[in-house]
């Protein structure tokens, strides 16, 4: 069954069709939420809330890209989480004890322990840099550079013009680059700028 048929069936109230859509997009939705929020529990909550909101809003879906429509809802759920966190900031003890990015499935057997440590350090540095970006720039960089979306797809997801997408991406990349250059000692040696 193709996506358009699943969407049509889900709009008629077929929960099995909607579940198939969820299975298709749950990993993408969670990844966008996680990269935006950098908190596994908040990302899971935002993703779940987005799917509930999407199910309720399906009768209002007017066609076009279901993926872009769904990710717009995920984005809004993330912004809601960020607004709540700003009002009530808190740190999770679990985040201090556990590395949520680690997965035994992602281990590369050919990678030396030093290379793995460098890759992890770079990943942490990039995530900290992403966390420093304003939410709109962070989301644009995540959608473009991590998820591989086109400018047009990002414009649809974020409900902004193509020019705004390009501007946010340019500013976000520049701020991320500047952040990483300031953190030079934390970057693996091969990623450090060469000083002459």
Q: What share of the chain is helix, strand, coil (3-state, %, to 5)?
A: 75, 0, 25
CA distance 172 to 27: 24
Are 6 and 79 found together in one domain?
yes
Q: What is the pLDDT of residue 181?
A: 81
- How large is the average pLDDT for residues 64-93? 78
- Both 57 and 2 in one domain: the answer is yes
Domain membership of residue 172 (yes or no) is: yes
Residue 77 belongs to some domain of the structure:
yes
DSSP string for residues in 95-130 = HHH--TT--GGG--TTS-HHHHHHHHHHHHHHHHHH
Same domain as 16, residue 53: yes
**117 and 195 co-located in one domain:** yes
Residue 71 shares a structural domain with residue 138? no
Question: Residue 159's domain is classified under what CATH number?
Answer: 1.10.10.10
pLDDT tier for residue 39 given thresholds of 50, 70 and 90: confident
Say which residue, 99 or 158, is predicted with more confidence: 158
Which has more pLDDT, 172 or 60?
Answer: 172
Tell me how far the alpha carbon of residue 163 is from its chain's centroid: 21
Of the residues 86, 102, 121, the one at which a domain ends: 86
Q: What is the CATH number of the domain that holds 78?
A: 1.10.1740.10
76 and 125 belong to one structural domain? no
Based on the fold, state whether residues 159 and 196 are members of the same structural domain.
yes
Q: Is position 180 within any domain? A: yes
The Cα 52–Cα 73 span in angstroms is 10
| Angle in degrees, CA 187, 188, 192, rounded to 5 | 65
Pair 141, 193 in one domain: yes
pLDDT for 97? 38
Range of the domain at 34: 1-86
For 196, residues 6+ apart whose C-beta sits below 8 A from its C-beta are none
104: left (phi over 0), alpha (psi -120 to 50) or beta: alpha
Cβ atoms of 30 and 57 closer than 8 Å: no
Inter-residue long-range contacts of 98-101, CB under 8 Å, 24+ positions, other chains counted: 100/40, 101/127
In a domain, 98, yes or no: no
> Global pTM?
0.62
User: Rounded to 5 degrees, what are φ and ψ at 186?
Assistant: -90, -15
User: Which of these, 63, 64, 60, 52, lies nearest to 152 by C-alpha position?
Assistant: 64
Number of domains into which the chain is organized: 2
If asked whether residues 77 and 124 sit together in one domain, one would say no
Q: What is the pLDDT of residue 126?
A: 82
Are 116 and 191 in the same domain? yes
Residue 103 lies in a domain: no
Residue 93 forms part of a structural domain: no
Asked whether residue 37 falls in the same domain as residue 71, the answer is: yes
Is residue 100 assigned to a domain?
Answer: no
| Shared domain check, 60 and 140 | no
Quick: pLDDT tens for 160-171. Answer: 999 999 999 999
99 is a domain residue: no
């Amino acid at each position: 069954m193709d996506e358009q048929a699943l969407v049509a069936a889900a709009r008629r109230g077929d929960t099995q069709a909607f579940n198939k859509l969820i299975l298709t997009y749950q990993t993408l939705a969670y990844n966008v939420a996680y990269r935006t929020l950098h908190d596994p529990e908040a990302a899971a909550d935002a993703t779940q809330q987005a799917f509930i909101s999407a199910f309720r809003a399906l009768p209002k879906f007017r066609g076009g890209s279901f993926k872009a429509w769904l990710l717009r809802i995920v984005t809004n759920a993330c912004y809601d989480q960020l607004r709540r966190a700003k009002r009530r900031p808190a740190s999770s003890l679990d985040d201090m004890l556990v590395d949520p990015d680690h997965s035994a499935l992602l281990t590369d057997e050919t990678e030396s322990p030093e290379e793995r440590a460098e890759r992890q350090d770079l990943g942490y540095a990039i995530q900290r840099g992403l966390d420093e970006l304003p939410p709109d720039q962070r989301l644009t960089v995540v959608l473009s550079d991590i998820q591989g979306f086109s400018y047009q797809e990002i414009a649809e997801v974020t409900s902004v013009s193509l020019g705004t997408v390009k501007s946010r991406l340019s500013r976000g990349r520049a701020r991320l680059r500047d952040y990483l250059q300031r953190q030079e000692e934390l970057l693996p040696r091969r990623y450090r700028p060469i000083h002459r």
